[in-house]
Structure 1
Amino acid sequence: MRNTKLFIGRKIRDLREANRLTQAAFAERIGISTSYLNQIENNQRSVSASVLLALAEAFRIDISDLSSGESERLLSALSEALNDPLFETFRPSLQELKLVAQNAPGFAHALIAAHQAYRRNSEQLASFDDTLGRNTGFAEPSAYEEVRDFFHFVDNYIHELDLAAEELAAKLGIPERDPSAALPDHLEQRHGVRTVRGGADEGVLRRFDPETRTLYLNPFSPVSTRSFQAAFQIGELEMADAITAIAENAGFRTAEALDICRIGLANYFAGALMMPYEALLSSARELRHDLDLLATRFGASVEQVAHRLSTLQRPGRKGVPIFFARIDRAGNITKRHSAAKLQFARFGAACPLWNVHQAFETPGRIIRQLAETPDGVRYLCLATEIAKGGGGFRAPQRRYAIAVGCEVTHAGDFVYADDMDLTNRAAFDPIGISCRICERSGCAQRAVPPLKRRLVVDHNIRGAVPYRLD
């Protein structure tokens, strides 16, 4: 074990709270004093090797869950912010950034928020937006961006809702019982809510009438969508207080962000109810993350399964660290989360060499790719197109591509990697996060230069782009 100091107070506290133990009881379980535990949880003291081993033995967890991947999402966002030319005169080392992310996460979040405001204001100025001259301060993040970042920095895992959903699923017999029958039955028996077919011309997935206690579901929606909407309504009725408390504690700037977060939390509960944690975790291992087989077993869609797999972040019972994203045809990332080291750009488009863009060319197929990012980390990447719509010949069809994958060290847990040569480095395509922060030279698909590299322009030589990186 490396002789480096490990400050993991937040993870230790999360583990203790997940097991519903006081500091005194937790400290006694691992054989340390309560005062020492208090100092560890507040990052005033590092964790020794003996304490790590005691944690692994007492709570049956993998030490790597605690000692690796510490604050990856925060570290990635902080690194991207500090790559801006604004900070050209100061380039902190990776070790310095890790220390900030681990020991002063509040400061890191504040710096990231300030940089986001700077970027938004700069974009307004550059485009001569008609709001120029009317804004007196930095542009604030949109409500949607605030909520997206909230889920991003809690690892897209909400412990209280996950446990409640798992407990209810056990009572309803899910997944052994088909959720498309179990969920409407529960709504009627527990809440007196009838589930009926909505009008074909309504154009909405779900409409709840609190006066008549009727839930209308779009008849053109797939069964998995109707089940999800029924699960959402259960979350709205049974978890309203818990959802409101979680959202209010997030400290959003606006009531709009608070409402969007409440919708997101109800969606989280719905996914956890259809695919309860332990059942999905064991099924994913048994079926080796075969998305179609998992979708069939849980009565869910491939997108719902892929998204839920990325939330398996329960302390002490984590699944394979998976990244998940949904992208439209214009390249906009409409959903994203990464429990792996791969992080998605907060500004700009995704790398055009990433296989998710090819999914639109081969609908109905899962495309595989071995990829390597500039930091040398290699990934198994899967992508497939999904279509949403229905309602007749003239009804609009929404088309997206979803991407899901893991670091290549976990590829053996996926059926999709069985016939791929994971040891041949030449088999891995070079991809980046986005052109603005990717310093890979010689990329034929580069759209714009990286922010922190000097350009060399030679009028006598023309390559794929009209410059070289110094």
Structure 2
Amino acid sequence: MATQKLYAGAKLREMRGRLGLTQKLFADKLSVSLPYLNQMENNHRPVSAGVVLALAQEFGLDVTELTVGESERLVSDMKEALADPVFGAANPPLADLRLAASNAPALARAFLDLHRAYRQTHERLASLDEALGREDAALRPSPWEEVRDFFHYCDNYLDAVDRAAEHFVTGPQGRRDVIQVAREALERRGISLHFSDTGAMRRYDPVAKRLDVSARSSEPTQRFQLLHQVALITQNDLLDATLDLARFHTPEAREIAKIGLANYFAGAALLPYRTFLDAAGSTRHDLERLADLFGASIEQVAHRLSTLQRPGAKGIPFFFVRVDQAGTITKRHSATRLQFARFGGACPLWNVHQAFETPGRFLRQLAETPDGVRYLCLSRDVSKPGGSFHAPTRRYAIGLGCEVQHAGALVYSDGLDLKGRFEPIGISCRICERPDCHQRSVPPLERRLRVNPDRRDVLPYEILG
């Protein structure tokens, strides 16, 4: 399998600007000629292995920053957008998309914003009472989409919030009991904490200065909800400053994002960065053992593993996803090259869909995406009881995975033949390039079809090159 060339011109220019170096000085430190550096910065040449090594030795660069980041997500998002029938036969080569993402990321994001606005126009036209008769009907992303994209392009890692959460629960002797720390923080502000049957998972009365957390919820949920409210009360200035930098278009988006930031703080406090990173390594990323060690749920542990992207102290790059029983993605994040479709469900060949059939078990899958990248994928069902007979139970499946070169650091690789067969999976049928998939629901939009009425195979059409 051919090694993918590394084009990282924008990253090189950004780093040189941050260091305050001229091209000549930067080239000297990297032991390359000035024309060669110029070509690399403009993506006319790939970054060589020698330059990567020099960046690590001279400047302490975490080389994973060159390979996984905004460019890969932009390429994936643009490829999906260009599969829309509105673009007709337009099918820019992958090299052009990578060039745009690396050299003109602002233009690429503007293109995605424009396509999103186009889609929303069609959605509004499908509901005339929404599309017509409203003077304020402007073309903008929904608040939910805007917040989702904010976390997506932050790599789902927010350094200031993460460090504040870590500091909040860590004392001179190490990690402290989160409930005790939270109770003390509330008491200093005259707020009383009660575990009671309120009918809601969490309810705060700012006038009475009383916080109620549901006694019917599981202990991991109680801790998370308690820390969420503590974040809103004790970290409000930090959360607002982060929101100011994001510059959301609507008050609704800002309010949704604030909930997301409080959730982020809660997860980072429940699973503080360095302590959790060390425990993940020592347990070989055993989700059940980590859940027991930190009093967290398996879903909380899996999601946290996908956020360990602190510069200089990164964990294994994971992807994390949660789907409902209809196959709709309700949470998604990837620090790997695998980027989920922004719209619609996940590939039906992916083992995350089988988790509902085997409750309480981890499923393992060795999978390969159309770009030739191989992954170790885990999936498991998660149930969220309502706490009473009449309360509904919410059921999801979570997926967690990493590229196969990291598989040895996971207990889940034990007994697997990592050089054996890898199952082919895709991202979304409409952008998947596999011509012979037996689970294909729709043909790829960028490929021509041939229909033979006198022949029927698994698919009723043949996908042409």
Which bracket does the TM-score occupy, shorter chain normalised? Answer: 0.7 to 0.9
Query: For residue 191 of structure 1, what is the aligned residue in structure 2?
Result: 189
Letter of the 1:181 partner, please give it: Q
Q: 1:245 aligns with which of 241, 246, 270?
A: 241
**Distance in 2 separating the partners of 1:10 and 1:394:** 58
Q: Does 1:465 align with 2:459?
A: yes
Q: Does 1:81 align with 2:77?
A: no
**Distance in 1 separating the partners of 2:116 and 2:412:** 38
Out of 255-264 and 370-379, give the one that drifted further: 370-379
Distance change >3 Å, CA 302–CA 13, structure 1 → 2: farther
SS at match of 2:231: helix
1:192-211 mapped onto 2 (5 Å cutoff)? 192-198=190-196, 200=197, 202-211=198-207
Letter of the 2:181 partner, please give it: A
Distance change >3 Å, CA 253–CA 3, structure 1 → 2: closer
Q: What are the superposed Cα offsets for residues 53-94 of structure 1, whole Å, 9 maximum, x if unpaired? A: 45423665543x133224221221122122333334543332
- Given that 1:29 and 1:58 are in contact with CA atoms closer than 8 Å, whether structure 2 keeps it comes out as no
Q: What are the superposed Cα offsets for residues 124-148 of structure 1, whole Å, 9 maximum, x if unpaired? A: 54x5655455579774321111100
SS at match of 2:322: strand
Out of 253-262 and 227-236, give the one that drifted further: 227-236
1:350-365 mapped onto 2 (5 Å cutoff)? 350-365=346-361
SS at match of 2:377: strand
Q: What are the superposed Cα offsets for residues 370-401 of structure 1, whole Å, 9 maximum, x if unpaired? A: 11111111111111111112322111111111
- Given that 2:302 and 2:400 are in contact with CA atoms closer than 8 Å, whether structure 1 keeps it comes out as yes
Q: What are the superposed Cα offsets for residues 241-261 of structure 1, whole Å, 9 maximum, x if unpaired? A: 121121122121110000000
Note the C-alpha offset of 1:345: 0.8
Note the C-alpha offset of 1:463: 2.5
Query: For residue 443 of structure 2, what is the aligned residue in structure 1?
Result: 449
Query: For residue 415 of structure 2, what is the aligned residue in structure 1?
Result: 419
Letter of the 2:462 partner, please give it: R
Note the C-alpha offset of 1:460: 1.7
Q: Does 1:114 align with 2:108?
A: no
Q: 2:427 aligns with which of 419, 426, 433?
A: 433
Query: For residue 7 of structure 1, what is the aligned residue in structure 2?
Result: 9
Note the C-alpha offset of 1:420: 0.7
1:258-269 mapped onto 2 (5 Å cutoff)? 258-269=254-265
Query: For residue 94 of structure 2, what is the aligned residue in structure 1?
Result: 94
Letter of the 2:116 partner, please give it: Q
**Distance in 2 separating the partners of 1:215 and 1:393:** 25
Note the C-alpha offset of 1:186: 3.4
SS at match of 1:436: helix
1:57-456 mapped onto 2 (5 Å cutoff)? 57=57, 60-63=60-63, 65-70=64-69, 71-125=71-125, 127=126, 130-131=129-130, 133-134=132-133, 139-171=139-171, 175=175, 177-188=176-187, 190-198=188-196, 200=197, 202-424=198-420, 427-456=421-450
How many residues are treated as equivalent by the alignment? Answer: 449
**Distance in 2 separating the partners of 1:360 and 1:237:** 38
- Given that 1:183 and 1:227 are in contact with CA atoms closer than 8 Å, whether structure 2 keeps it comes out as no
Note the C-alpha offset of 1:430: 1.2
**Distance in 1 separating the partners of 2:13 and 2:159:** 13
Q: What are the superposed Cα offsets for residues 160-218 of structure 1, whole Å, 9 maximum, x if unpaired? A: 1111112222228664x432333323332x333221023x3x43211111122221001
SS at match of 2:170: helix
**Distance in 1 separating the partners of 2:4 and 2:343:** 36
Which consecutive unaligned segments of at least 5 residues does structure 1 have?
17-21
Distance change >3 Å, CA 3–CA 231, structure 1 → 2: closer
Which consecutive unaligned segments of at least 5 residues does structure 2 have?
none
- Given that 1:179 and 1:299 are in contact with CA atoms closer than 8 Å, whether structure 2 keeps it comes out as no
SS at match of 1:349: coil
- Given that 1:15 and 1:315 are in contact with CA atoms closer than 8 Å, whether structure 2 keeps it comes out as no
- Given that 2:202 and 2:211 are in contact with CA atoms closer than 8 Å, whether structure 1 keeps it comes out as yes
- Given that 2:6 and 2:67 are in contact with CA atoms closer than 8 Å, whether structure 1 keeps it comes out as no
Note the C-alpha offset of 1:10: 8.3
**TM-score, length-scaled by structure 2:** 0.87
Report the identity percentage: 50
